[in-house]
Amino acid sequence: MKYDLCVVGLGYIGLPTASIFATRGKKVYGLEINPRVVATINRGEIHIVEPDLDVLVRAAVQSGNLVAGANPVAAETYILAVPTPFAGSHGPIPAPDLTYVESAARGIAAQVTEDSLVILESTSPVGTTEKVKAWIDDERARRKLPPVSGAQYAHCPERILPGQMLKELVSNDRLCGGLTRPAAERARDLYRSFCNGEIHVTDARTAEMVKLTENASRDVQIAFANELSLVCDRLGISVWEVIKFANRHPRVKILQPGPGVGGHCIAVDPWFIVEAAPDLTPLMQAARRVNDGKPQWVLEKIRALGARFRSPVVACLGLAFKADVDDLRESPSLHIVEALAKTPGFKLLVDEPNISELPRSLQLPHVTKVTAVEAIKGADIVLLLVNHKQYAAIDRDLLNTKVLLDTRGFWS
């Protein structure tokens, strides 16, 4: 049997993408190396938290159009949706780690035919789509399989926002960058089956750069807000008021300061541009340093506030990398709480409403998981790290007698 689609990697991007194609009538095979994930999906369940994803996956699996497995299959189109983290650093600049993309490409190489379309969705450094083709050609040569010069390649980057993935998957504009024009147009026709936004056609290198540019742009803008927050704090001015009023200017749109930039996109992707041109990117490098420095600033603030108490109890509200998600990866809030837990004399009462137990790094005698209200009641200092919706409802009277550090300006 030949599937319409084989989606490689059933994570935060691959799973919603595979499922939405399946609910639009495509026969989809999800290729996934983790056997627990395969079993979960085939039961119609999910292994990640994202609003309404459970309903979509259940519908996709029950329709018979989505099946997960560990072996490469024959398909018209392959979509690679695997992680592209960075691998340690060579000097001050982290290098991209393309090993997942390479092994995904080599893994499907034997199945690729003259008629195949191979799409890279993973956020990738410029030139990666060309590498995908080269890895597939190389793997086929290594296995003594005939070359497939007719196979088509495109980069169609995902651009969906965690927390609003399903809405954005359908409504966002899409970019299809081909190694050739027919490849881009074929990809465009495929995404039309569910994408209501405009679908723009370009070349693969431009598409790669656009995706990186979007996240680098956001990183630079958040860095501006974070830098402002340091200056305003020193000058005794509320940064939230400054931004609120500055944003009343018709051409000013400053983002919000916070405890740092987390997640596996915005804190990572600018480095892919920097790595390609270190001598030309002082602004992007500075933005990364500003945002990466913010957790340490929060930590020092809290330690200074803690010096007022003999044995300070700190309510830490939120561990996720941003509001209303359960994702702790690259979370500045988690890093701050982990460092606070190592501060002698500090006791921590921690709330993270989207997880059921503390990560192992925080399973310590002086760190307790409680509800937000319990944490506030029992604390000397309240540290708000994430603007989860649950915290909006907290009775402000509870905070009156507490020393407060609101890193998001949520209660100001």
For residue 108 the two structure tokens come to 């499907």
Q: If binding is defined by CB under 6 A, does position 290 make contact with ligand SAJ?
A: no
Would residue 211 show up in a list of annotated catalytic residues for this protein? Answer: yes
For residue 365 the two structure tokens come to 């005698």
Judged by CB under 6 A, which stretch of 37-45, 113-121, 188-196, 251-259 contacts ligand SAJ?
A: 251-259
Q: If binding is defined by CB under 6 A, does position 177 make contact with ligand SAJ?
A: no
Alpha-carbon separation of residue 316 from 175, 184, 320, 342 (angstroms): 40, 48, 11, 14
Q: Which residue has the tokens 């209200």?
A: 373
Beta bridge partners of 3: 75
33, 228, 242, 255: which one binds ligand SAJ (CB under 6 A): 255
Task: Please say which residue, 115 or 173, places its beta carbon nearer to ligand SAJ.
Answer: 173
20, 105, 222, 273: which one binds ligand SAJ (CB under 6 A): 222
Judged by CB under 6 A, which stretch of 46-54, 139-147, 255-263, 304-312 contacts ligand SAJ?
A: 255-263
Catalytic residue among 156, 176, 265, 316: 265
Contact predicate 258/408, CB 8 Å = yes
Would residue 232 show up in a list of annotated catalytic residues for this protein? Answer: no
> Please, what is the minimum distance in Å from the beta carbon of residue 25 to ligand SAJ?
25
16, 262, 295, 318: which one binds ligand SAJ (CB under 6 A): 262
Task: Please say which residue, 256 or 285, places its beta carbon nearer to ligand SAJ.
Answer: 256
Q: If binding means CB under 6 A, how many residues of this protein chain bind ligand SAJ? A: 20
- Of the candidates 123, 409, 391, 390, the one whose C-alpha atom is nearest the C-alpha of residue 254 is 409
| Phi, psi torsion values for 83, nearest 5 degrees | -70, 150
**Burial (CB count <10 Å: 0-12, 13-18, 19+), residue 253:** exposed
Q: If binding is defined by CB under 6 A, does position 215 make contact with ligand SAJ?
A: yes
SS3 316: strand
Determine the Cα–Cα distance for residues 9 and 32; give it in Å rounded to an integer.
5
Q: If binding is defined by CB under 6 A, does position 329 make contact with ligand SAJ?
A: no
Judged by CB under 6 A, which stretch of 33-41, 87-95, 144-152, 160-168 contacts ligand SAJ?
A: 160-168
| Amino acid present at 369 | K
- Of the candidates 180, 2, 160, the one whose C-alpha atom is nearest the C-alpha of residue 78 is 2
Residues with a catalytic annotation lie at: 211, 265
Task: Kindly list the residues in this chain that would bind ligand SAJ in the complex (CB under 6 A).
Answer: 123, 158-162, 214-215, 218, 222, 255-256, 258, 261-263, 265-266, 321-322
